[in-house]
Amino acid sequence: MILLDGKATAATIRAEIKVEVTELSARFGRSPGLAVVLVGEDPASQVYVRNKERACEDCGIVSMPYRLESATQLELEGLIQQLNRDVNVDGILVQLPLPKGLDSQRILDLIDPNKDVDGFHPVNVGRMSLGLPGFKPCTPAGVITLLKRYNLDPACKKAVVIGRSNIVGKPLAMMLSQAGPCANATVTLCHSRTADLKAECREADFVFAAIGVPNFVTADMVKEGAVVVDVGINRTDEGLAGDCDFEGLKDKVHAMTPVPGGVGPMTIAQLMVNTLEAFKLHVGA
């Protein structure tokens, strides 16, 4: 089995970005800037934000943290509008989920699409659906990049995506089915109402699990030689677990991502890629 090492691949991508950022910063007199907005004290969100800040440091990107113990809807909207106007801010990331009482979609809609490095703004979602340039959601884009780096092309293959979230499942299915490199797959998007999920998965050459249930995908659901990408990360009494039964699958599949160390690092690496692209757009590079 080929272990799809997202941690090592992400480190390579960060090093590549660092070289480009160094050159561009010398040319344009400033470095890319990423504003990271965290509201509340959710422990998991705090960990994610720290990891993103470390990645910025590795890449030479200026991290601009905005940690708010609490905020009203109007206060948070005002901050987003302020960041939209700030010429030194190239990317804006609002860490989700937001605390109860705050309208997440309203906040995401307020972000300037040219600073929407998470790829969640309706403008960028629409551009992605049409196959036009724009910022793509970091997790599915990171998955595609990982497949590219390992020369695993889903073109003309059957792919099953388990999970229909707006953050992972839907955009990943869209990206896999579009014309272009590391795409052109025949995609089935499965979810909780899929009649025979096991049968769908057993026919797939590529299985992408993003359902949020520990060890949901088992060996009897996957055909011999399939490629399995585990997007899930679940906290259990035994520690972190993915959506796939790694031990049960590892001797049956051709390639698979580990949890942790698979898709997670690629998500953050893609955020760095998007931030660099936003910077280049703003400075005219």
Q: Which residues are annotated as a binding site for NADP(+)?
A: 163-165, 233
Instruction: Report d(CA 269, CA 138) in Å as an integer.
Output: 8
Task: Provide the edge-to-edge strand list for the sheet that holds 158-162.
Answer: 2-3, 255-256, 227-230, 206-209, 158-162, 186-190
Q: Do residues 145 and 266 lie in contact, with contact meaning Cβ atoms separated by under 8 Å?
A: yes
Beta bridge partners of 241: 234
From the annotation, which residues make up the binding site? Answer: 163-165, 233
Q: Do residues 167 and 120 lie in contact, with contact meaning Cβ atoms separated by under 8 Å?
A: yes
Please, what is the end-to-end C-alpha distance for the chain in angstroms? 41
Strands (E), 123-243: 158-162, 186-190, 206-209, 227-230, 234-236, 239-241
Torsion sign (Cα): 86, 88, 90, 93: negative
Main-chain dihedrals φ then ψ at residue 152, nearest 5 degrees: -110, 95
Main-chain dihedrals φ then ψ at residue 226, nearest 5 degrees: -75, 160
Q: What is the set of active-site residues?
A: 52, 95, 118
